[in-house]
Amino acid sequence: CGTVKSTFFFFTSFAVLFLQMGWGDLGAFGEPSKETPNLDQMASEGMLFLDFYTANPLCSPSRAALLTGRLPVRNGFYTTNGHARNAYTPQDIVGGIPDSELLLPELLKKAGYVNKIIGKWHLGHRPQFHPLKHGFDEWFGSPNCHFGPFDNRALPNIPVYRDWEMIGRYYEDFKIDLKTGEANLTQIYLQEALDFINKQQASQQPFFLYWAIDATHAPVYASKYFLGTSQRGLYGDALREIDDSVGKILKHLQKLGISENTFVFFTSDNGAALISAPKQGGSNGRFLCGKQTTFEGGMREPAIAWWPGHIPAGGVSHQLGNVMDLFTTSLSLAGLQPPSDRQIDGIDLLPTILQGKLIDRPIFYYRGNEMMAVRVGLYKAHYWTWSNSWEEYSKGIDFCPGQNVSGVTTHTQEEHTTLPLLFHLGRDPGEKYPLSFASDEYQRAMERVAVVVQQHKATLVPGVPQLNVCDQAVMNWSPPGCEKLGKCLKPPKSDPKKCFWPH
């Protein structure tokens, strides 16, 4: 195997297709409308992961985990402003991905790879956090979510970048019609991907493509051709366009004759946002709750590996996987070893993908600075439970609509560290029936779980939290390139404060 890795695998390119959707959004995972034929075909030609997780139930920390192979609590993408609070990178965030973190494209670049990010970066928008300073060679997309439109006085509209400089702003130069949901962004992102692949194929360069589009993130959008075509409303329209785009990317790889040298992985950064459903959010299938929570619906994701000629068609795996594994697996594909000077949480999934092996490993469910739960085998132990506060819930913010489970989907932070709530996810994937504390099964399972948790906490060295401080002066007032476009805006006086994270 070592010889193979140092020769053939070195020339393997790979693409990670990363966006927000739920486990139950694809036909291959049982969605009844069957409106994702290309992703379903991708699954039939590759390997479907049924037990694949994100590293956090929110966007920014998940992306940091994917690109570093490390839990957000290690790489700094968390907050200590409140216990077990989700945090991300809005415009006023001061922090971002630390220079001390080694990102996947930085390591691949040293091995001769050309790296491009298309879509949402979300790891900090100040100059020192720019993706081209962290290993990417090209970027087309935005530093933040496509929220807006803003008035450019209290808040600036989000910029869209090509490489080092902005080329416009959302809602001004890159239109999103909030009334109809029409926007052409997915088509632009698709063409960027195809052009990049063409360029690297022509120059015989191995590449890493990180396609991080955001059409299924509220406010949801789709291009005119797809509007009104889904049984599932605007969200379904956006999903159909993404499905179509994925199909075109895969077919393009085949047309160019490089599909057998290109490993492609499709997954999500967090579960479907049920708070936005059904018009602006997806489905988490049988699983409990959604985005923002550490229940299965918030962190178990659809995942498909595709590599013609290497991955046997029609494979289905119960391997416990995590987005952090894409870091280590990608390095393995490139014939590289992960950094040895830090704790890497991602594992190499190639033995699973190529040989069907199952690797014993736990899944940790973090919310901010707290380990809320852990999965070991088919058992999941909740050490803390919380959906959201009564205050937020009373405003109509519901992360678990129609799914209240007494004593589980709590609206206060409930500690269970003495007697964790334990579920068997094989018999009870919806986390509705905790095992009896007095049962022999509970005692046996918790003996195993307790050892895993003890080992994890004993070796955990938290990173410096990057998501604690906010300041309106650091917003996207005058990004690089704004002067060429006449789009520089005057920032307010700096007034750094603790960020408020309600969830």
Residues of each annotated binding site: 59, 269-270
**Does an H or E element contain 190, and which?**
helix 185-202
Q: Distance (Å, rounded) from C-alpha 212 to C-alpha 117? A: 7
- SS3 of residue 284 by DSSP: coil
Q: Distance (Å, rounded) from C-alpha 169 to C-alpha 156? A: 9
Q: Distance (Å, rounded) from C-alpha 39 to C-alpha 121? A: 23
Q: Distance (Å, rounded) from C-alpha 247 to C-alpha 268? A: 17
Name the residue with tokens 């659809």: 302
Cis peptide preceding 159, ω within 30 of 0: no
Which residue among 122, 217, 382, 424 is the active-site one?
Answer: 122
Is 122 a known active-site residue? Answer: yes
- Between strands 114-120 and 138-142, the pairing is parallel
Q: State CA 151 to chain mean position distance.
A: 30
Asked if 262 and 16 count as a contact pair (C-beta separation under 8 A), the reply is: no
Q: Is the dihedral of CA 23, 27, 31, 34 positive or negative?
A: positive
Q: Distance (Å, rounded) from C-alpha 233 to C-alpha 218? A: 13
List, as residue ranges, the binding site for Ca(2+): 59, 269-270
- The closest alpha carbon to 198, from 187, 209, 183, 188, belongs to 209
- The closest alpha carbon to 144, from 18, 60, 86, belongs to 60
**Does an H or E element contain 447, and which?**
helix 440-459
Q: Distance (Å, rounded) from C-alpha 433 to C-alpha 430? A: 8
Which residue among 1, 59, 400, 424 is the active-site one?
Answer: 59
- The closest alpha carbon to 330, from 14, 17, 3, belongs to 14
Asked if 501 and 81 count as a contact pair (C-beta separation under 8 A), the reply is: yes
Token duo for residue 8: 């053939």
Asked if 311 and 305 count as a contact pair (C-beta separation under 8 A), the reply is: yes
Q: Distance (Å, rounded) from C-alpha 354 to C-alpha 311? A: 6
The dihedrals phi and psi of 279, each to the nearest 5 degrees, come to: -75, -35
| Enzyme catalytic residues | 59, 122
